[in-house]
Chain A
């Protein structure tokens, strides 16, 4: 009761409240500086989640050791993935790996540091460009609260920051981070040049397929298809074709597609969730580690059947989504590329046999850019859902993942997290498909098609 005394508030809590209020106003007035301070803090957080102190914990940066191993082996013995053996990644994925590999002198620690700095600079530069674009279009230069900042469009940059924080270490330690930043550059270039957008999306597709899926709505939305979309894409893909002719028999640029067809359902995939949940009740233990592609898979007659038909369902679903994109081709170009691209990406995730945590990095460029456009209010629900998908992804890996694969007493908690995340993914998919469908239904006659 003494705490509720009026005198106590006046003497202690009131000055504290005033101080916090001042700091808040200061942050809102200096929104640019505040953003970069937060960016630095997020990068530090990503580094420490990537490198757990306990050696027995699965490190989210595990894939970086593999990248380092490939580059180290290549530089010492001349055995390169893609050139000499099939690879799980498309050809351009090896460019950032090579960059980090050349300057790290065979040292894994240095390789990781260079990689994190590379990703930090690329994302920092992308967000700076996005901020400047919002700066040009925003009318008011003064903001007194964070709600103002979101209304002005700066929310896009802050959203990217909080999305990174929600995804955790997996965000920066995978090749998907590189593809996503290329996607962001593509979206930023959309206002000035469709050619640049097409080039960036193609480069992203040759780095990791998901972000490159934005290319398809761009193709449908543009009027001058050959000049603005196909030609830049061909120029970006030309080095791969040249390499293919140079190496003839020893070149596997599309091997990343073959590796997926014969595998089983990964435990995190959306299609595996019903089986995972049913395991809780039946007590069956069907998780097996696949040592060729380093994943944990669920093996049972039902799952084998699902895995087989999922190959066809994926093709069918992509075709239906592409039809919806085609149907909405006369809608506003930016809206179509955002909605259509996200629908294709989510289709590839939902109907995939794999559901790796890094796949959700691919959603970020679309969601962040959508908040900087004039349609930000329509994208509110999608962005909130996307954020929670990212948050649950971090809770699963590196969070509760070890409980699931080890059949720990807490593994029901892991499966619960997995089920919630995958339900959120499906909800997000439905929202995006609904938006795309609505976009196709309401096409104004005098709409501006494209430049």
Chain B
């Protein structure tokens, strides 16, 4: 029972990778102002054609007022992944040493694969 259960993962599965090295596509923010002076700011791709009007939340037609460079959102603090916690505790050399030791034990038959 214990061997067949999933541990530490939600149903639907998500990537444990961070977006550190990912570069988003170039974009800018377009401001729309409606007759009730509600301001709507929307990000658009630099390649996209910007619509001159946008429907405001109040139902009125908001007109475009200008573009500004896209503000990169602040990175929210997140919990460390298992791999990051491991690398915090052990150096890569230690881990390599451990792996070699376990592989040797596996080859000699002292331990066996789970299933």
**A contact set with B: CB distance below 8 Å:** 55-59, 62-63, 65-66, 69, 73, 76-77, 79, 289, 291, 294, 296, 405
Contact = CB atoms under 8 A, between A and B. Distances in A.
B35 A294 contact: yes
Contacts of A59: 36-37
B37 A66 contact: yes
Contacts of A405: 35
Contacts of B39: 65-66, 69
A281 to B, nearest CB: 27
Interface of B: 31, 33, 35-39, 57-59, 63, 68-69, 71
A55 B63 CA distance: 18
A340 to B, nearest CB: 35
Nearest to B60: A56
27 contacts: A55-B38, A56-B36, A56-B58, A56-B59, A57-B36, A58-B37, A62-B36, A62-B38, A63-B37, A65-B37, A65-B38, A66-B33, A66-B37, A66-B39, A69-B31, A69-B33, A69-B39, A73-B68, A76-B68, A77-B69, A79-B68, A291-B33, A291-B35, A291-B63, A294-B33, A294-B35, A294-B37
A450 B37 CA distance: 47
Give the dominant DSSP class at B's interface: loop
A57 B59 CA distance: 10
A372 B35 CA distance: 40
Contact of B35 (A55, A57, A73, A289): A289
Contact of A76 (B31, B63, B71): B71
Nearest to A292: B63
A121 B23 CA distance: 48
Most buried by A among B31, B35, B57, B58: B35
B38 to A, nearest CB: 7
A289 B61 CA distance: 10
B37 A55 contact: no
A386 B113 CA distance: 92
Given A69-B31, A291-B63, A58 B68 contact: no
Contacts of A65: 37-39
A63 B33 CA distance: 11
A296 B36 CA distance: 11
A62 to B, nearest CB: 3
A55 B69 contact: no
A63 B36 CA distance: 9
A77 B35 contact: no
A436 B18 CA distance: 75
Given A62-B36, A66-B37, A69-B39, A55 B68 contact: no
Contacts of B59: 56
Nearest to B58: A56
Contacts of A294: 33, 35, 37
A217 B33 CA distance: 40
Contact of A55 (B31, B33, B58, B71): B58
A69 B71 CA distance: 15
A62 B37 contact: yes
A173 to B, nearest CB: 11
A77 B58 contact: no
A57 B58 CA distance: 8
A294 B60 CA distance: 13
A404 to B, nearest CB: 13
Given A57-B36, A294-B37, 9 more contacts: A58-B35, A58-B37, A59-B36, A62-B36, A62-B37, A65-B37, A65-B38, A69-B39, A77-B69
